[in-house]
Structure 1
Amino acid sequence: MEAELESIIKVWILALISLSYCFYLSSKLPSGVSRLISLVPVFILFLYLPLITISSAHLAGLTAFFLSWLANFKLLLFAFDQPPLSPPPPTLFRFISLASLPIKPKRATPSPKINLVRHKSSVPTRAIFGFELEPQFNEPYLASSLQDFWGHRWNLMVTSILRPTVYYPIRRISARVLGPVWVSLPAIVAVFVVSGLMHELIYYYLTRVAPTWEVTWFFILHGVALAVEVAVKKVLVLPERLRLHPAVSGALTLGFVAVTAFWLFFPQLLRNGVDDRIIGDYSKLVDFLKGWLPFHLD
């Protein structure tokens, strides 16, 4: 466990140095090609860092997600003067936090009716980061459709990053060919293809085994299904009495997600023993903490 901690400390020291370079030097360059070129070494480093000897599935997975995916995509937006890193935050700490963690400032001001528990839970985040954070999930079990599940409820941080980096550019390109009615369909599929490839990369960091492309096909399948759902909604405008009840459409949505996940999303992880490594991580953590306790409980 000590060696594992040393590795993760080295990784994050390199990440902090790289993000400091972005804050103090790259941010001074004009946005566009110049800033993008200055960030290329950071992109490459962040793709390499999860390959440093980290046997823990938790630490390898989180490092890959935070740096190889989120930080690289946020820095890509930063190169072209797009939020959340542009305009640059006032402090280095806030820049590093926004770049390397799955967080983003909450834009909307709170409504007069404030949930007391949620308000109290937001106080520590405001004290640490200087702003209130948006939630990562929005009750996905209440999703009434694939569009609702993927667009408004599941992993909102990833959704907010993929929209400006993939969805909007592909939508602008498609508009020249398809027109305004069907312009969103190729953009939707493109988002899911990119998400699948990024998950494939994270799976490689976890397993160090050549990709089988199952998880990519999982996201392609959902992208195509979502595009079909959007197209059907555009073509068939059904009266209220003929629409499925949200309880029925929600059950069908969650059932589709669950069945396809067990078919395509999880097998690669289970086949390569990632589930056993995760259980082993907890065992190692318990043993490590026991060594630091001044006494042992029998």
Structure 2
Amino acid sequence: MLGEINSFIKVWLTVLTSLCYCHAIGKVVPKGTKRLIFVLPVVCLFLYLPLNLYSPHLGGVTAFFIAWLGNFKLLLFAFGKGPLSANISLPLFVAVACLPIKIQQNQPPKSHLNGHNKETSSKSYRNGQNKENSSSRKSKEGPVNYAIKGLLLAIIVRVYDYIEFMHPNIIMLLYSLHIYFLLEIILAIWAAMVRSFSGLEVEPQFNEPYLSTSLQDFWGKRWNLMVTSILRPTVYEPTLSFSTTVIGRKWAPLPSVLSTFVVSAIMHELMFYYLGRLSPTGEVTWFFLIHGFCLTVEIALKKALIGKCQLPWLVTGPLTIGFVLGTGFWLFIPQFTRCKVDVKAFEDYAEVRSMLKNSSEKVLRILSAK
């Protein structure tokens, strides 16, 4: 574990150095192809760095932050788009580039992190953030809510001791809840830390996805919102602009949505490769292609039947969650066991417990000696 922590520190020192370079490049190289040429080596480096980590917690978070979110932000930055700008301060540039955070819409960051004026902050926000109201929404979940989810997560980890007596579908349901609770708690901790230090707001990753009324609601407004906000300017909007000239504004969202899910499938395959170092089977790709196709059909039906048919949540809610869980159990969740993420995670938990136990015993011995 100590060796993994040392590798983690080295990886992130490299990330910080690389982002300082990108910030300097932005000041001297104009946006466009020239800046892209200078940024591409960093993009390639960010794709390589997660390969130095094997822990699903340290490696998985690093891969998500830099190989996906960070790289997409840097590619936008190369063309003068997105949340990154050479006009913002270096600490702010680094924080926004390597963490899933956004600048608060109505309140500029604190002066010790941000050395630019309100106009620059507002411009950066408008260029890189979701235009919909959901992007500026702060998480409404309080500490009690997170405490409950933390307790449920601890119960799930304890229940794993009896996993050999469980039905495979129950195990996959536990894995699904584990992933959801763990991600939300980790990102809530990030949110509290970043907010207290800099005035920046961490982009909420989830918005009660179990209350989704449709696939469009689930993927667009409730699940993995940081990914949604970064895929919109990098994939959806360019495809939408092109499709509008070909098939018109009304139906242009359909190929745009499908192409967005294709890119998401590729990036998820990459994330699983980082976690398990195994060749992809294509099941994750099929999961996102199926959802992309079904969401496209859903949007088309809504456009064709607008105002004519409105099903209640009691019907659409269970259907949506049932479809997501059913396809997830079939194609997505089994990849975690295939990559042995569960085994590696339990090993991490055991090593952390051992380290904490040894540390507490040393502290008690020191106190008793006094």
Which residue is equivalent to 2:80? 81
- Helix, strand or coil for the counterpart of 1:209? coil
Within the candidate set 194, 200, 207, 2:269 is matched to 200
Deviation at 1:117, TM superposition (A): 5.7
Please tell me whether residue 289 in structure 1 is matched to residue 356 in structure 2.
yes
Partners in 2 of 1:56 and 1:132 — Cα distance?
27
Please say if residues 26 and 86 of structure 2, whose CA atoms lie closer than 8 Å, have aligned partners that are also in contact: no
Matched, 1:25 2:28: no
On the 8 A contact 2:60/2:275 being kept in 1, the answer is: yes
* Kept after mapping to 2: 8 A contact 1:200/1:215: yes
Q: Give the aligned partner of residue 94 of structure 1.
A: 92
**Counterpart in the other structure of 2:183:** none
Q: 2 CA distance for matches of 1:124 and 1:61?
A: 20
Give distance in 2, aligned partners of 1:235 and 1:156. Answer: 27
Change (3 A) 1:255 1:123: closer
CA contact 2:277–2:339 (8 Å) conserved in 1: no
Q: Deviations over 1:205-247 (max 9, x none)?
A: 11111110111111111111100000000111244xx421112
Q: Which residue of 1 aligns with 2:4?
A: 4
| 1:65 and 1:202 in contact (8 A); partners too | yes
C-alpha spacing 1:13/1:223, structure 2 compared with 1 (3 Å): same
Q: Which amino acid aligns with 2:353?
A: V
What's 2:239 paired with?
170
Contact 1:269–1:275 (Cα < 8 Å) also in 2 = yes
For residue 31 of structure 2, give the secondary structure of its aligned residue in structure 1.
Answer: coil
Q: Is the 8 A contact 1:106 1:134 kept in 2?
A: no
Shift of 1:108: 5.1
Aligned pairs for 1:258-297 (under 5 A) are 258-293=325-360, 294-295=362-363
- Provide the rounded CA distance (Å) in 2 between the counterparts of 1:38 and 1:26: 9
Does residue 231 of the first structure (1) align with residue 287 of the second (2)? Answer: no
2:141 & 2:337 partners in 1: Cα distance?
41
Partner of 2:59: 60
Matched positions, count: 288
Q: Is the 8 A contact 2:100 2:202 kept in 1?
A: no
Q: 1:188·1:227 contact (CA, 8 Å) conserved in 2?
A: yes
| Cα offset, 1:278, TM superposition | 1.0
| Structure 1 unaligned spans of 5+ | none
Alpha-carbon distance in structure 1 between the residues aligned to 2:317 and 2:254: 22
1:71 is matched with which residue?
Answer: 70
My pick for the range that moved more, 35-44 or 288-297, is 288-297
Name the structure 2 match of 1:16.
16
Could you tell me which amino acid in structure 1 is paired with residue 15 of structure 2? A
1:242-261 matches, cutoff 5 A: 242-261=309-328
8 Å CA contact 2:56, 2:275 repeated in 1: yes
**TM-score under structure 2 normalisation?**
0.73
The root-mean-square deviation of aligned C-alpha atoms, in Å, is 2.3
Does 2:256 correspond to 1:187? yes
Unaligned runs of at least 5 residues, structure 2: 108-135, 144-188, 366-370
CA distance in 1, matches of 2:198, 2:224: 20
Q: In the aligned structure 1, how far is the partner of 2:73 from the partner of 2:14? A: 18
Change (3 A) 1:116 1:273: closer
Give the structure 1 partner of residue 105 of structure 2.
Answer: 107
The letter for the 1-side match of 2:36 is L
Per the normalisation by structure 1, the TM-score is 0.90
Whether contact under 8 Å (2:262, 2:285) holds in the other structure is yes
